[in-house]
Chains A and B, each alone.
Chain A
Amino acid sequence: MKLVLGYHTPVLVKKVIEKEMEKLGIKFSYANTGQIELLGEIRDEVYYQLKLNLLEYGVYFQSNQQQQMIQKIKDAIDEFLFFEENYNYNLSTFISNKLNINYNYASNLFSEMTFTTIQSYIILKRIENAKTMILSGEYSLTEIAYKLKYSSIAHLSGQFKKVTGLTASQFEKIISKRNFQVSEKKEI
């Protein structure tokens, strides 16, 4: 049996935080997106333990305000792509409304900090979603193009090739061969 997963990252992160905070007995409340407020002081050891535990899940403390803003922009992009009804909006309107910032500012900051434009980040994210769907084996390319709101299969295939340098079927073949090899090794 094969299960196809879809996930909304902020929910996952929230669950992880709650579990880890409870483990260490830290009282906290949620402030804005991606921020938590500790209710009371914690000892340095507890702080480092929390930092380490969260890192295991790939969750880390942002070191400055600009990086925090980049994370907020990425979260907003995830949210934009996750809920289909958002596609009725422009991404720029969505981001500036959601974060209450000027889109030009967001866009310049993003390019400056990550050397990638918001637009190419979105392209990468959409291709990633396409990869997950391809590997699930549950969808045809036509269905994937439709679900991810590409105007046509040609548009999806063209973008896939441009981003990865591979066709969708080459990609599928490589990953399944790789997984086959891994599972063979485990059996030895």
Chain B
Amino acid sequence: MKKINIVLAEDDEDDRLFFEEAITQLGLNTEIKFVANGDELMKYLNNHETSFPDLIFLDLNMPRKGGIQCLAEIRAHKKLTGLSIAIYSTSSSDEDIENCFVGGANVYINKPNNIESLKSVLLKVITTNHQYTNSTLNKDNFVMVV
């Protein structure tokens, strides 16, 4: 399996470490880039137009620019619109979930609080995304809650 490039947009340092630990333990061939807010994410994407990440994990509540606004900008941008986006949030309200999907998110993750569940969530998201990207599956219908 070729290298999977992942970006995590998350302002909380503890959450970033937790995420990194889980990904490392999975032992997949992944490379993670961390950005601390939505502004940084959009700058990073605009500077990497030739090597887009395979998957973006997006926290909803971040300073400067929040997840929902990033989502809207990415989906409105001609070059970025095909990117896979997984919302990574502490909220599990039906309203938040629906808003994110209607806004164009592919995956909604309710942040797990132990490492084993985070690992299984990440594995499911990464492998499912891989199938949508590499098989004849319709990505418009790629919506999943984990």
Encoded as 1 (CB less than 8 Å from any A CB) or 0, chain B from 119 to 136 comes to 000010011101100111
Structural contact, B136 and A174, CB atoms closer than 8 A: no
A150 to B101: give the CA distance in the assembly, Å.
Answer: 27
Please encode chain B, from 81 to 121, with 1 for each CB lying within 8 Å of some chain A CB and 0 for all others.
00000000000000000100110100010000000000000
Q: CA separation between A181 and B128, bound complex, in Å?
A: 26
With known contacts A174-B102, A178-B101, A116–B137 Cβ distance under 8 A: no
Contacts A116-B131, A124-B137, A174-B101; A166 near B1 (Cβ below 8 A): no
The verdict on A114 contacting B127 (CB below 8 Å), with A78-B136, A128-B137, A128-B138 known, is yes
Q: Say whether A164 contacts B144, CB under 8 Å.
A: yes
Q: Is A135 an interface residue (CB 8 A)?
A: yes
User: Interface of chain A, helix or strand or loop or mixed?
Assistant: helix
Complex interface residues of chain A between 115 and 173 (CB less than 8 A to chain B): 115-116, 121, 124-125, 128, 131-132, 135, 163-166, 171, 173
**Closest approach, in angstroms, between the C-beta of A139 and any C-beta of chain B?**
15
Q: How large is the interface on B (under 10, 10 to 19, 20 to 34, 35 or more residues)?
A: 20 to 34
Contact (Cβ within 8 A) B136 A164: no
Asked if residues B138 and A175 are in contact (CB atoms below 8 Å), the reply is: no
A171 partner residues in chain B, CB cutoff 8 A: 143
By the criterion CB–CB under 8 Å, are B143 and A164 in contact? yes
* Docked pose: A112 CA to B140 CA in angstroms: 27
> Are B146 and A178 in contact (CB-based, < 8 A)?
no
Is A165's CB under 8 angstroms from B141's CB? no
CB of A42 closer than 8 Å to a CB of B: no
Once the chains bind, are B134 and A114 in contact (CB under 8 Å)? Answer: yes
Tell me if A113 is interfacial: C-beta within 8 Å of chain B: yes
Q: Look across to chain A and name the residue whose beta carbon is closest to the beta carbon of B4.
A: A115
Q: Does A93 contact B (CB under 8 A)?
A: no
CB proximity to A under 8 Å, residues B26-80: 28
Expressed in whole angstroms, the Cα–Cα distance for A173 and B123 within the complex equals 27
Closest CB of chain A to B143's CB: distance in Å? Answer: 6
B136 and A166 contact, CB distance less than 8 A: no
Q: Are B131 and A132 in contact (CB under 8 A)?
A: no
Q: A124-B131, A171-B143 provided; 6 other pairs, C-beta below 8 A?
A: A74-B135, A163-B144, A164-B143, A164-B145, A166-B143, A174-B101
7 residue pairs A–B, Cβ–Cβ below 8 Å = A74-B135, A114-B1, A135-B141, A164-B145, A166-B145, A171-B143, A175-B141
Residues of A within 8 A of B (CB): 9, 58, 74, 78, 112-116, 121, 124-125, 128, 131-132, 135, 163-166, 171, 173-175, 177-178, 181
The 10 closest A-B pairs by CB, nearest first: A165-B145, A174-B101, A131-B141, A115-B127, A177-B102, A9-B136, A178-B102, A116-B127, A164-B144, A128-B137
